[in-house]
C-alpha cells in the first residue's frame, strides 16, 4: 500500500507507522490515529530547525518497538519528540540542537569529571553520537525512545568521561587493591600487617580477581571514580537500591573469600587461630570499608 501524497505529514506518519506495526486483527488502531497525528505534530514543532521525513520517521519508530508487546501500547509510552531528534541525526542542525537541549545535563557531567573540559566532553559526545565508523554506527541510533533522552545523554556522556580518565588514575585490579591494602589500619593491627602483609595481599588480590568483571567495574565507579550510588545507577540503567545491594554483596564475598584463603594457608590452632582471624577480619573490614563505604 502506498501512502497518499494528499495527506498531511502527521497523517502520513501515522499511515506508514500503522502499515509497519498493525494487522487486520488490531481493533484499537482507529482510536489512536488522532492522538498519533497530534504527537507527531508536537514533535515537529518541538524541533522546528530539524527536517525529518514523515515516512522515514514512522519506520524509525517502528524499528524501535519492543518485541512481544502490543504496538499501540508501546508507542503510547515512547518519547516521540525525543525520537524525532534522534531520527534527524543526518540533519546538519541536529548536533547543535542536541547540545542546546542537553546543556544542563552536560554541565553536571563536566563538573563531575573534571579531567575533561566542557568543550572536550561536547566534542567526544558529538563524535560518538553522530559519526559512524567502520566498527560501529553512530551512537544516536541506539536511543530507543523508551526513556527520557536527556537521561540517556547523561549516561553516554558519563561513560565517555570514564573511558577518557587520565592514565595516572587507578585503573587496574592491582592498583585498586593497592588503594585498599595501603590504607591506614588501627595501630593494634601493626604486627599483623607486618607479619601477614603478603599473605593478606595475595588472598585479597585473589578474591578481587575472582569477581566478575561487572563487579570490578562497579568497585571502580564507586571507589576509584568516586561516583555516588545514583550516578552509578544512571550509568548502569538500574535503580540506586540495586547498586547498594550489589556493593553489599561484593563486600561480603571479598571478606569471606579472603578469610577462607588465609584460614587454609596458615596452620594455627586454638586461641592463635581465633586471634589471627579476628585481626585479619578487622583488617579486611577496614580495607573493604575503604572500598565500599
Per the structure, the complete domain to which residue 100 belongs is given by: 94-163
Say whether pLDDT at 175 is over 90: no
Give residue-wise pLDDT tens across range 150-161: 989 988 888 888
Regarding whether 243 and 181 lie in a shared domain, the answer is: yes
Q: 190 in helix, strand or coil?
A: helix
CA–CA separation, 45 vs 85, rounded Å? 11
Position 273 pLDDT exceeds 60: no
Co-location of 151 and 221 in the same domain: no
| 8 or 123: which leads in pLDDT | 123
With both helix axes pointing from N to C terminus, report the angle between 118-130 and 94-101 in degrees, rounded to the nearest 10. 130
DSSP readout, 230-267? Answer: HHHHHHHTS-HHHHHHHHHHHHHHHHHHHHHHHHHH--
Domain membership of residue 4 (yes or no) is no
**Domain final residue, candidates 136, 163, 190:** 163
Residue 1 lies in a domain: no
Calculate mean pLDDT across residues 273-282.
50
Specify the number of domains making up the chain. Answer: 3
Residue 3 within a domain = no
Containing 107, the helix (H) or strand (E) segment is helix 103-112
Instruction: Evaluate if residue 221 carries a pLDDT over 90.
Output: no
> Considering the entire predicted model, what is its pTM?
0.57
Which of 163, 184, 202 marks a domain boundary? 163
In a domain, 239, yes or no: yes
CB 288 within 8 A of CB 234: no
CATH number of the domain enclosing 280: 1.10.10.10
- Is residue 104's pLDDT more than 60? yes
Any domain includes 252: yes
Q: How high is the pLDDT of residue 173?
A: 44
Amino acid at each position: 500500500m502506498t501512502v497518499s501524497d494528499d495527506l498531511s505529514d502527521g497523517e502520513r506518519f501515522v499511515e506508514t507507522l500503522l502499515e509497519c506495526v498493525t494487522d487486520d486483527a488490531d481493533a484499537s488502531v482507529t482510536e489512536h490515529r488522532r492522538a498519533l497525528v497530534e504527537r507527531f505534530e508536537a514533535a515537529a514543532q518541538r524541533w522546528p530547525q530539524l527536517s525529518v521525513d514523515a515516512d522515514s520517521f514512522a519506520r524509525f519508530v517502528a524499528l524501535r518497538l519492543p518485541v512481544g508487546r502490543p504496538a499501540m501500547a508501546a508507542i503510547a509510552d515512547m518519547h516521540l519528540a525525543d525520537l524525532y531528534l534522534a531520527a534527524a541525526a543526518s540533519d546538519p542542525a541536529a548536533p547543535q540542537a542536541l547540545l542546546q537541549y542537553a546543556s544542563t545535563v552536560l554541565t553536571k557531567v563536566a563538573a563531575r569529571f573534571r579531567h575533561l573540559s566542557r568543550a572536550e566532553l561536547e566534542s567526544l559526545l558529538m563524535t560518538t553520537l553522530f559519526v559512524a565508523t567502520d566498527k560501529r554506527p553512530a551512537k544516536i541510533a541506539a536511543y530507543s525512545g523508551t526513556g527520557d533522552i536527556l537521561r540517556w545523554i547523561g549516561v553516554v556522556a558519563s561513560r565517555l568521561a570514564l573511558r577518557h580518565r587520565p592514565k595516572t588514575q587507578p585503573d587496574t585490579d592491582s592498583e585498586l587493591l593497592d588503594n585498599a591494602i595501603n590504607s591506614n589500619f588501627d595501630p593494634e593491627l601493626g604486627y599483623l600487617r607486618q607479619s601477614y602483609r603478603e599473605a593478606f595481599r595475595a588472598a585479597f588480590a585473589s578474591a578481587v580477581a575472582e569477581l566478575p568483571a561487572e563487579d570490578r567495574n562497579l568497585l571502580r565507579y564507586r571507589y576509584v571514580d568516586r561516583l555516588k550510588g545514583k550516578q552509578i545507577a544512571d550509568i548502569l540503567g538500574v535503580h540506586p537500591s540495586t547498586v547498594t545491594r550489589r556493593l553489599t554483596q561484593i563486600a561480603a564475598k571479598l571478606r569471606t573469600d579472603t578469610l577462607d584463603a588465609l584460614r587454609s594457608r596458615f596452620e594455627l590452632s586454638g586461641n592463635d587461630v581465633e586471634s589471627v582471624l579476628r585481626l585479619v577480619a578487622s583488617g579486611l573490614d577496614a580495607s573493604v570499608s575503604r572500598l565500599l563505604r
